[in-house]
Amino acid sequence: MNKYKIISSLIEQDYFLIELYGINELGGCTCYKGKKCSCSGKHPVKFNWKDNFIKSDEELKNILKQHPNANFGIITGNGLVVIDIDPRHGGFESLEKIKDKLPTPEMTVKTGGGGYHFYYRTEEHVGNRTNILPGIDIRGEGGLVVAPGSKHKSGEYYIIEEGVEKDE
């Protein structure tokens, strides 16, 4: 897996990416909390992250040079909505009930925790909602999701399954 190639490709496709803390060699977050972090590898490095998305390939290279374990996040909103399926909380069972009503996503990502992120574009204003059904959250205006190429605390990676150019 080439993290640089994946993230660079997402930036080229007009996704807004930000740097997240990563997962260290011990399986903990690279933030000061380490293994005690409750959202390991999933929270922004910069406080004002919504205004600090990565704007160039050079900026991405510098981040990876300074922080090779960095994870990345995709800012949702501005027409981008992500449905987050969490199998640990019944997400697959809930998805079975609604899958026939969902349009085809522009991108499908298998998460490091074994769930899925389904990416959609819409003209409608969509906010963030948790547990709309057991194990299903929606990320819209003001939200973010962990980007493909990032490492989960389980040691697994977020992987693009369908919809955009994959890194084979």
Report how far apart the first and last C-alpha atoms of the chain are (Å, whole number).
7
Average pLDDT over residues 57-79: 95
Kind and range of the H or E element at 85? strand 80-85
pLDDT at 134 over 80: yes
0.85 exceeded by pTM: yes
Beta bridge pairs of residue 108: 118, 162
Q: How many CB atoms lie within 10 A of CB 78?
A: 10
Count, residues in the chain: 168
Greater pLDDT, 168 or 147: 147
**Cα–Cα distance for residue pair 42/74, rounded to 1 Å:** 11
Average pLDDT over residues 159-165: 78
pLDDT category, 43, cuts 50, 70, 90?
A: very high
pLDDT of residue 164: 62
Average pLDDT over residues 111-136: 94
**Cα–Cα distance for residue pair 122/157, rounded to 1 Å:** 27
pLDDT of 13-40, one tens digit each? 999 999 999 999 999 999 999 999 999 9
